[in-house]
Every structure is written in structure tokens, then in C-alpha cells.
Chains A and B, each alone.
Chain A
Amino acid sequence: MRCIIRLTLLEMLKKKILYLTLALTAIFLIFYGIAMNYGYDSLRDAEPLMRIAVSGQFLSMGIYALGFIVSFLSIFASVGSISSEIEQGNYDAILSKPISRYEVVVGRYIGILLVLIPYATFFYLSIIGLNLYFGDGVVANIVTVNILKSLSVLYLLPTLLTSVGLLLSTYLSTMGAGVTLVILYFCGMVGGILEQIGHFITGEAKVVLTSIGITTSLVIPSDIVYRKASSILYTTSSGMNFSADNMLGASIQPSGLMLFYIGFYIIIMVVLSIRKFQIRDL
């Protein structure tokens, strides 16, 4: 299995995917940092409520972009993880060696996560760091423990999406898996937004929108991860929550039980991927 992990990491390095991603991330962070510099400067003399509201938006924006980019990286890295190798005929050379099929699936999964998780950590800490640096005295009190807790929850995002991509990759072509997972991801995202909107309205519409949100969260709980991570981050030491009340916010906190559901969901996805790869002709 270590060899498959090694090959997956080598692939990322040799194909220069990692360098390109890091370069583009650096460009994004530079623009984001410049925006934070000017944005926070303009807030220094504003009313406290205005400062809290706008700084919350700044942070939400960064975390949202992070979630989006990490999600898409997870999708693109995983949807071809098995299928592209099948399409290129690489498994003839690999599976004729003394290696089990489950080692290939698990090795690919771990290899992708070994790139995505450090990347997500770097990106997340950069966003937080830029906000704390430029927003010194403006940003509401962010607790270190919550930063770490939020980051830990955020790790579920690449872990989850990669597991779904892996499963789809054992069933479908790379293109098919990619299209399916992108649609699923957007369904989850739209469902999450509808649930947030449901928070501001009443009556039958509230019930319908919230139900759609819950259903999509069960099918693909990626949006839940982002909202839970945001929600933890915006909780101050006094227990107050400063989540932005908008589409990107996390006014409705996903329950802790949902995190268990996500953990179970990921295990099921990986087990199904192994099972499918074990029984299929290559």
C-alpha cells in the first residue's frame, strides 16, 4: 500500500499539480490580504456592531473560498483516482504484482488526503492569520481552541468528498464521476443555502426549504462540514456566536450527531469503493 501512496504523491509532484495549486493559492492570498488590509482599516472608526458584522463577512468570505477550493481540489483529485488508471490500462502492470486490490483503493485515498489535508491546513491558517493580523482590534475575539476545532472539522471536507469521488471512480469513467460529484456537491451547497434561507422565513415555505436542506445534507453532507467549521470558529469564549446571517453564514448550527453521520458516511464510501474495485474486471 505504501507504494501506491508513494506513487499518488509522486504523481501530484511530477505532474506539477501541487506547485500550480500552491502558486495560485499564494496569488489568492495576496489579493485577499490586500483586501483585508484596506477593508479593516476602513472599519476602525465604525460602530462596534458594524465592525462585528463586516469583519464576520470578511472571515466568512475567506473560509467560504477555502471550502470551495478545497472541495474542488478534492473532487478533481479523486474522480480519476481509479477510473483514469483503468482507462489508461495502468492496472495491468500494477495488479500483476503481489498487491491486493484493497491496497490500491486505500493507498490512493490516503495519498490524496496526504496532499489535501496539509494544503487545507496551510490555507485555513493563512486566512485566519490574515484576518487576525489586519483586523487587530476589529475582529471579534476568536478563540485558539475554536480555530483548532474548526480546522479539525474542516478536515472532514476533503476526507468526505475524496471518499465519494473514490467510490464514483470505481463505478464510472473519470468524466462521468466528475460530472456526478460536481452536481452532487452543488446540490449539497444549494440545499445548505435553502436551509439558511428557511431560517429567516416562516410558515410552510420554512418547512419545505428546511426539509430540502436536511435531505441534501444526508445525501452529500459537504455543506454541513463547512457550516459546522464556520460555526465553531465564530463562537467566542463567552459562548456567543457571531456567524454572519447570510447565505455563507452558519446561523443554523449542524448538530454534533451530524458529524458522526459524516464519519459513518465516509467509512461506508471507502468500504463500498473497495468492494466495487475488488469485484470488477479491469
Chain B
Amino acid sequence: MMLETYNLTKQFNGKGGFKDVSLSVREGEVFSFLGKNGAGKSTFIRTLLGILYPTSGMGLMLGKPIGDVETRKKIGYLPELFQYHTWLTGYELLYNHGLLYKMKKNEIKARIDEVLKIVGLEGHEHKKIKQYSKGMKQRIGLGSAILSDPLLLFLDEPTSALDPLGRKQVRDIIFKLKNEGKTIFLNTHLLSEVELVSDRVAILDKGEMKKIGTMKELLHSPLMLSVGNCSEKIINELKKIDPLLERVGNDIKMSVERDNDLPKIADSVVKNDGLLYMMKRKENVLEELFINTVGEEDVR
């Protein structure tokens, strides 16, 4: 396991923070931590990294107790509001972060060139950070997080300051890192991001963990069909796949776990003289799950 926590709790004078969070993150997976603003997501990461001290419970990161200084050599972290000395240039920032990682000077220089390419800041490295846009600051922060080629990467709202193109670039970076076998712990409230990149998800609400599981376990994304000439014969065929399907007029809602069943469903409709106008999985299911979990009123 890359990360394990057991009843980890951090509270401020008995309030806020998070309570009794137990979870584990496996090697090579993208683990997303979902929650509203103020749910305790950032506090959780900051506690894992030793910036805050836990009130109770324990945690292991790469097999060592959380807060272990040497372990941080293999950890990357992009804080939610990436702040760093704005009087430095992007290059100087990365160079100094390399020194903080105790990397060798020539190793840092070589790695900076790679990182600048990855985060798309080539040509901007000699500008002062105070001249950077929000998105550029976020990218240089991401660059700093991946500088040491970490095994475990914590990204706290990595796309919050980015435009759609910037978000896509960050997603691509996440996929690339995942393909390289890195483990990523992603804090976000952007559900669309989570659906695209995550292997497992946990939902935190008011400091308490409400749900945890793989995307598949948590999301039973129903299949929606719109069928013309929808006969009883078609319905009976489809019930062989989902006996509990719901039908309203020409619209059918089914629970289908395996994508392998989809051609069979289309075949059943067409062979029985049905007209298949539409067949797709229902969108925004994570949003539904999230709202149901944390409460609609709270979300508003």
C-alpha cells in the first residue's frame, strides 16, 4: 500500500478538520477525494504531509509513519493555493525546490527541462512568478510537485485555476503519470474530472468519510434506451438481461453492468422490429451520488 490511514483525525479545538478517516491507496491507482469546499479534504492532505499534526489515529505513507521527513523525497504535492516566493523566476523556483528535495545540481537542471515541457511552460521559465497568470502558477506548482519524479503524488484541486484547455493538459499529465505507474491522490470537487481519471473514489462530508470504493462499485450508471415500436416481446427479451428494468412509454431504463451486453441489447431491439433511437449510459451519475451523499441542501 502506498498510503494507509487508521481512524485518522484532525480537529481544531474540537471543530472542523476531519474525523476517523480510514482508507488505503494502492500502488499505481488514481484515488480521488471528493467533497464540498470545507469538507476537510485539504486538511487531510496537509495532515498526511506533516504540515498539520493529527489529533488522533495513525497513518502510514510508503510504509513509514506520516510526517517522516525522508519519505517526502518520494512524495510530490501541489497545494490547493500554490503560493511560493513570487520574486523568483519559474526556473529559480524549480531549482530551489530541487535543492529542497536534496537532488544533485546537474540532476535538477536536466529534470527542470523535462518538467517545463510536461507542464507546458517552456519559454516562460525566466519570467518572475509574479508575472505568471493563475493557470501558469498552477502549472509551475505542478512542475514542482513532479520535479523529483515522485512515487506518490498529492494534487489538491489541480485544475481549479485552469481554463478548459489547461484542464485537459493536467488530465493528460495525470494519465501519463498513471501510465508510468505513479500513484495519485487527487482532491477535487470537479466531478467530471474524477469520472475521467479515477480508479477509486472517497466522499468526505463535514469531515466524515461517507463512501469509498471503485467507480464501478459506487456508480451503477443505468443504461437509457429510446425504442420505437416497443413491443412486449422486446421488453421480455431485455428483461432477460435486467429483470427489474423500468419502462415509461418508449423510454427504458436498465441496469447493465457489463459493456459486453450492449450489442446483445441492441440486437434484441432490432431483431424484434424495434427502432433503436438512442442507447446511452445516463450521464452525471457521480453528481447524483455526490448530491445524495452530502445532501442537496448542503450543496446549494
Contact = CB atoms under 8 A, between A and B. Distances in A.
Contact of B100 (A10, A92, A98, A279): A98
Nearest to A103: B69
A100 to B, nearest CB: 5
Contacts of B72: 96-99
Contacts, number: 74
Contacts of A42: none
Interface string A114-157: 00000000000000000000000000000000000000000000
> Which of A10, A90, A91, A98 counts the most B-chain CB atoms under 10 A from its CB?
A98
A15 B87 CA distance: 7
> Which of A11, A281, A282 counts the most B-chain CB atoms under 10 A from its CB?
A281
Nearest to A4: B100
Interface in B46-70: 46, 49-53, 69-70
B171 interface: no
Nearest to B53: A281
A14 interface: yes
A93 B83 contact: yes
A224 to B, nearest CB: 36
A18 interface: no
Given A7-B96, A99-B100, A89 B87 contact: no
A16 to B, nearest CB: 9
Contacts of A2: 99
Contacts of B83: 88-90, 92-93
B144 interface: yes
Nearest to B46: A92
A2 B99 CA distance: 9
Interface string A10-33: 110011000000000000000000
B96 A89 contact: no
B85 A90 contact: yes
B138 to A, nearest CB: 13
B87 A14 contact: yes
Contacts of B81: 89
B70 A89 contact: no
A94 B82 CA distance: 11
Contacts of A11: 85, 87
A281 B84 CA distance: 19
Nearest to A99: B100
B76 to A, nearest CB: 8
Q: Which size bracket describes the interface of A in this complex?
A: 20 to 34
A281 B97 contact: no
Contacts of B88: 10, 14
Contacts of B46: 92
A3 interface: yes
Contacts of A94: 100
Contacts of B75: 96
B141 interface: yes
A154 B271 CA distance: 98
Contact of B73 (A92, A93, A98): A98
Given A92-B77, A281-B52, A97 B101 contact: yes
Contacts of B50: 95-96
A6 interface: yes
B69 A99 contact: yes
A90 B83 CA distance: 5
Interface string B15-55: 00000000000000000000000000000001001111100
B69 A6 contact: no
B70 A98 contact: yes
Contact of B51 (A3, A10, A91, A279): A91
Given A92-B79, A93-B77, 12 more contacts: A10-B88, A89-B81, A89-B83, A90-B83, A92-B46, A92-B83, A95-B51, A96-B50, A97-B72, A97-B97, A98-B69, A98-B71
Ranked nearest first, the 7 interchain pairs of A and B with the lowest CB-CB distance are: A97-B100, A96-B77, A92-B79, A3-B99, A89-B83, A14-B87, A98-B72
8 contacts: A6-B99, A10-B92, A15-B87, A93-B79, A97-B72, A98-B72, A99-B72, A281-B53
